[in-house]
Structure 1
Amino acid sequence: MRHFPIFMNLAGRRVIVSGAGECAVAKLRLLLKTEAHITVIGTKPHHEVLRWALSEKITYIDRPMKEGDALCAVLVYGANEDAVEDKRVTDLGRTAGALINIVDNLEDSQFITPAIVDRDPVTVAIGTEGAAPVLARKIKQQLEESLPEQLGVLARIGQAFRPVADQIPMGRRRRDFWSKFYFKRGPLALANGGKPAVEEELDALLNQTLSTAAENGRVWLMGAGPGDAELLTLKARNLLHEADVVIHDQLVSKPVLELARREAIVIETGKKGFGPSWKQDDINALMIKHAALGHHVVRLKSGDPVIYGRLDEEMDALTDAGIPFNIVPGITAASAAAASIGQSLTKRGRNSSLRILTGHDVDGFADHDWKELAKTGSTAVIYMGKRASAYLRGRLMMFGASESTPITIVENASRPDQRILSTTLLGLPDVISKADVDGPAVILLGLSPRAAMDEIETLEETELA
């Protein structure tokens, strides 16, 4: 991000626009929405500039800008449509201590003016770093259509009521109060009775909030999906946005975490196979601690929490501590991996059952019904199988599995750095070793990438020799 978005207070402060033609008018239409003292300096004024000057909305000086004109100004715009003149006047502005903007000159500007959706006092600013103005205009149009005109009215009424609402303790209770007002009760009252009805509704909502006991803390044991933020469920997105505390595994992707509320406490409780890890008891204690403080806690797990997520241990700990909880499922890596290679996990005439296995359990390499798994047509998804790959191959072949049984390893399923390795049961350990599979990976037993899936990168065993 080259340009950091901020909102600058222009109330009562000087803004200079050098240039009085059509280019300047475009900027002035935005600046006139502010409470700044605007001075336009330039020759050959556009008729709109003269009209605004006559109505005293701006001060107009009919000459080129000179030294001293920018004293005490906070912003200076170069809008002369002349590169040499714009450089001269913005140098004067910079010397005077103002921030400068040269219209259509991103490189020499200290700030840029975004596209704006105005629902005063609600303002949405849209910027593309100057790369795609057409895209900014399209986003502006979409936001204009989606944000109701009365939003600004509600915001002004709410702004005036904020000192009264400060009686509500800070935190979730106050946020819930304002959420109910802006998204439920306020719009209904405005539609039915205008401003007086809204003010009456605010008083009623405040009394109701103050007379109701504070809500207890709660934990959501929630699946983050395989990594692609667009695969997160709508319920999970909403809960992330509202959570006070997010406790997440190491495998949860950054784009998913970006959806958390900015004020939320976000804690990584890393669990990495054969590496440094948080103890499960410490994670349990952390959830209980924050929920006991009345927080809404999201315990965010990669994939689906009901599949190899140590869910029972966390539910037992919460139950013993008297903390209420909910389970929010997510898309597991098995589904994402199968989708990435264009295959279904079950198919008529091939397999009437599907096994989801782990390569490791608490005692080391996991044992399974190898005889069933070795049968032709068997399909299984193996989690945590990278280090157990030689063991898996040995067990399966010992019970009669063909060495040519198709195997697909999907690393970082659904993520931008996803890799798909296609091999056979015989080549499984060598492919994992030679390809240096380091990210989270699932092994698909009995499945090969569909030939028509030409959008994916597939590495064959022979390519790694």
Structure 2
Amino acid sequence: MDHFPIFLAVQGRRIVVSGGGETALAKLRLLLKTTARITVFAETPEDGLSALAAERRITLVSRALGPGDALCAALFYAANDDPAEDARVARLARADGALVNWVDNLENSAFITPAIVDRDPVTIAIGTEGAAPVLARAIKADLEERLPVSLGLAARVGKAFRKAADALPMGRKRREFWAEYYFNTAPQAIEKQGEAGLEPALHDLLARHLAEAPTRGRVDMVGAGPGDPELLTLKARRLLDRADVVIHDRLVAPAILELARREAILIDAGKQGFGPAMAQDEICALMVEHAAQGAHVVRLKGGDPSVFGRLDEEIAALDAAGLDWSVVPGITASSAAAAQIGQSLTKRDRNSALRILTGHDMKGFAEQDWRGLARPGTVAAIYMGARGARFIQGRLMMHGASPDTSVTAVENAARSDARTIATTLGRLASDLEDAAPTGPVILLYGLAPRWAEAALPRQSADLKEEFA
């Protein structure tokens, strides 16, 4: 992000524009929506500028900008449609201490003006850092259609009522009040009685919310999926947007955490195999503590909460505390990894069963039914298996598994930085050591990527390099 979006207070402050043509008028159509004091410098102003000056909406100075003319200006626009003149006035404005926008010259501008959806006081700014103005306009048009004109009226009345609403406790209780106002009460009141119906409706709504019992806290165990935000369920996204507290695992991608409310408390409860970890008892205590105080807690887990997510231990702690909870499934890593390599986890005449294993548990490398796994045609998804690859390789081969059995390691499945390492059981440990993955890895035992299964004329080393 090269441009940080902010909303600048301009009430009563100077905004200066240099230019007398259509470019200057285009900027003024937007600037005149503000409560700033606007001054325009133009040697030969168009009629539209003169008309605005006659209406006292702008101060028009019929000469070129000179030294000191941009003093105390919050913003300055160079809009002369003349590169040499725009360079000159931009230099003068910078010397006067103003933030300068040189129209259609991103490199020499200290700020840019976004596309704006105006439902005053609700304002939505859309910027593409100059990369795609057409896209910004398309997004603006879409939002204009979605947001009713009455939204601004509801927001203005609601703004004046905020002090009265402070009688409600901070957090979830107050958010529920405002959500009901904007999405139910206000539209209905405007439709029936217009603006006159808004304030009485607000008072009635506040009285009802004050009379209600305090909101009980709850915990939702939510699957974050393999890391791609687009693979979140709709329910998971909705709960993230509502949560007061998000207790998340190490494997939850930053892009998914970005979907939480800005005011939400984010707590990293990550565990790392053979590395630093927050004790499970401490995680359970955190969930109970926050929910008991009335917070809506989202326990956000990578993949699916029910697959190696210690879900039962956390549910038991919530039940013991008498707290409400729910489980929201997520796409688990084995499904994402199989999709990554173009394979299905089960296939007629290949395998009628799928085994889901963990490479290690609380006691270290996990023992499994190695003899059963070593049988030809077995397909298994092995979670947390990268560090124990040599152990897994040895156990399987000791029980008769062929060294030529296909194994595919998928790192960061379904993410933009995903990596696929196609190998065999006999080369598994050495190939993983060479690849040195740093992200979460799932091993798909008995599966090769579809292109490798089709016996394309490529060597193992080439395959690894192409998918690195």
Same fold at TM > 0.5: yes
**What secondary structure, in the 3-state scheme, does the structure 2 residue paired with 1:408 have?**
strand
**What's the counterpart of residue 283 of structure 2?**
283
CA distance 1:459–1:212, change in 2 (3 Å): farther
**What secondary structure, in the 3-state scheme, does the structure 1 residue paired with 2:426 have?**
coil
The alpha-carbon deviation at position 290 of structure 1 amounts to 1.3
1:338 aligns with 2:343: no
**What's the counterpart of residue 372 of structure 2?**
372
The alpha-carbon deviation at position 170 of structure 1 amounts to 1.6
The alpha-carbon deviation at position 333 of structure 1 amounts to 0.2
Point out the more displaced range, 332-341 or 280-289. Answer: 280-289
Once residues 437 and 89 of structure 2 are traced to their aligned partners in structure 1, the CA distance between those partners, rounded to angstroms, is: 58
CA distance 1:53–1:410, change in 2 (3 Å): same
Contact 1:422/1:461 (8 A) holds in 2: no
Amino acid at match of 1:23: T
1:9 aligns with 2:9: yes
1:188 aligns with 2:188: yes
**What's the counterpart of residue 233 of structure 1?**
233
Contact 1:65/1:89 (8 A) holds in 2: yes
Once residues 435 and 261 of structure 1 are traced to their aligned partners in structure 2, the CA distance between those partners, rounded to angstroms, is: 37
Once residues 402 and 447 of structure 1 are traced to their aligned partners in structure 2, the CA distance between those partners, rounded to angstroms, is: 13
Contact 2:420/2:464 (8 A) holds in 1: no
**What's the counterpart of residue 69 of structure 2?**
69
**What's the counterpart of residue 415 of structure 2?**
415
**What's the counterpart of residue 268 of structure 2?**
268
1:247 aligns with 2:231: no
Aligned counterparts, 1:315-394, within 5 A? 315-394=315-394
Instruction: Detail structure 1 runs of 4+ shifted over 6 Å in the superposition.
Output: 462-465
Aligned counterparts, 1:31-430, within 5 A? 31-430=31-430
Contact 1:75/1:99 (8 A) holds in 2: yes
Point out the more displaced range, 80-89 or 41-50. Answer: 80-89
Amino acid at match of 1:132: A
Contact 1:301/1:309 (8 A) holds in 2: yes
Contact 1:121/1:156 (8 A) holds in 2: yes
Once residues 221 and 137 of structure 1 are traced to their aligned partners in structure 2, the CA distance between those partners, rounded to angstroms, is: 39
The alpha-carbon deviation at position 337 of structure 1 amounts to 0.3
**What secondary structure, in the 3-state scheme, does the structure 2 residue paired with 1:337 have?**
helix
Once residues 205 and 351 of structure 1 are traced to their aligned partners in structure 2, the CA distance between those partners, rounded to angstroms, is: 60
The alpha-carbon deviation at position 464 of structure 1 amounts to 6.8
Contact 2:421/2:464 (8 A) holds in 1: no
The alpha-carbon deviation at position 299 of structure 1 amounts to 1.1
Once residues 449 and 381 of structure 2 are traced to their aligned partners in structure 1, the CA distance between those partners, rounded to angstroms, is: 14
CA distance 1:133–1:14, change in 2 (3 Å): same
Point out the more displaced range, 248-257 or 423-432. Answer: 423-432
Contact 1:19/1:41 (8 A) holds in 2: yes
Amino acid at match of 2:425: L
Once residues 425 and 405 of structure 2 are traced to their aligned partners in structure 1, the CA distance between those partners, rounded to angstroms, is: 5
Deviations 1:219-245 (A, max 9, x none): 111111111111111111111111111
Contact 2:117/2:143 (8 A) holds in 1: yes
Normalising by structure 2, we get a TM-score of 0.94
CA distance 1:460–1:194, change in 2 (3 Å): farther
Q: Equivalent pairs: percent with the same residue?
A: 58
CA distance 1:279–1:459, change in 2 (3 Å): farther
Contact 1:397/1:403 (8 A) holds in 2: yes
CA distance 1:92–1:355, change in 2 (3 Å): same
Point out the more displaced range, 138-147 or 174-183. Answer: 138-147
Contact 1:422/1:459 (8 A) holds in 2: no
Once residues 215 and 83 of structure 1 are traced to their aligned partners in structure 2, the CA distance between those partners, rounded to angstroms, is: 61
**What's the counterpart of residue 432 of structure 1?**
432
Deviations 1:270-326 (A, max 9, x none): 211111111111111111221122111111111111000111121122222222221
**What secondary structure, in the 3-state scheme, does the structure 2 residue paired with 1:382 have?**
strand
Q: Please, which runs of 5 or more residues in structure 1 have no aligned partner?
A: none
Once residues 39 and 463 of structure 1 are traced to their aligned partners in structure 2, the CA distance between those partners, rounded to angstroms, is: 64
CA distance 1:459–1:421, change in 2 (3 Å): farther
Once residues 363 and 442 of structure 1 are traced to their aligned partners in structure 2, the CA distance between those partners, rounded to angstroms, is: 20
Once residues 329 and 459 of structure 2 are traced to their aligned partners in structure 1, the CA distance between those partners, rounded to angstroms, is: 32
Contact 2:411/2:441 (8 A) holds in 1: yes
Once residues 89 and 128 of structure 1 are traced to their aligned partners in structure 2, the CA distance between those partners, rounded to angstroms, is: 26
Report how many aligned residue pairs link the two structures.
462
CA distance 1:68–1:435, change in 2 (3 Å): closer
Once residues 182 and 191 of structure 1 are traced to their aligned partners in structure 2, the CA distance between those partners, rounded to angstroms, is: 13
Point out the more displaced range, 272-281 or 93-102. Answer: 93-102
Point out the more displaced range, 226-235 or 63-72. Answer: 63-72
**What secondary structure, in the 3-state scheme, does the structure 1 residue paired with 2:343 have?**
coil
CA RMSD across the alignment: 2.0
Once residues 320 and 121 of structure 1 are traced to their aligned partners in structure 2, the CA distance between those partners, rounded to angstroms, is: 47
Once residues 453 and 464 of structure 2 are traced to their aligned partners in structure 1, the CA distance between those partners, rounded to angstroms, is: 21
1:24 aligns with 2:24: yes
Amino acid at match of 1:102: W
**What secondary structure, in the 3-state scheme, does the structure 2 residue paired with 1:213 have?**
coil
Deviations 1:91-141 (A, max 9, x none): 332233322211112222221111111111111111111222222112212
Contact 1:356/1:380 (8 A) holds in 2: yes
Once residues 453 and 267 of structure 1 are traced to their aligned partners in structure 2, the CA distance between those partners, rounded to angstroms, is: 43
Amino acid at match of 1:412: N
CA distance 1:463–1:21, change in 2 (3 Å): closer
**What secondary structure, in the 3-state scheme, does the structure 1 residue paired with 2:450 have?**
coil
Amino acid at match of 2:434: K
Once residues 307 and 256 of structure 1 are traced to their aligned partners in structure 2, the CA distance between those partners, rounded to angstroms, is: 19
Contact 1:341/1:453 (8 A) holds in 2: no
Normalising by structure 1, we get a TM-score of 0.95
**What secondary structure, in the 3-state scheme, does the structure 2 residue paired with 1:194 have?**
helix
Once residues 312 and 405 of structure 2 are traced to their aligned partners in structure 1, the CA distance between those partners, rounded to angstroms, is: 34
CA distance 1:109–1:387, change in 2 (3 Å): closer
Once residues 270 and 459 of structure 1 are traced to their aligned partners in structure 2, the CA distance between those partners, rounded to angstroms, is: 38
Point out the more displaced range, 337-346 or 433-442. Answer: 433-442
Contact 2:421/2:463 (8 A) holds in 1: no
The alpha-carbon deviation at position 411 of structure 1 amounts to 0.9
**What secondary structure, in the 3-state scheme, does the structure 2 residue paired with 1:427 have?**
helix
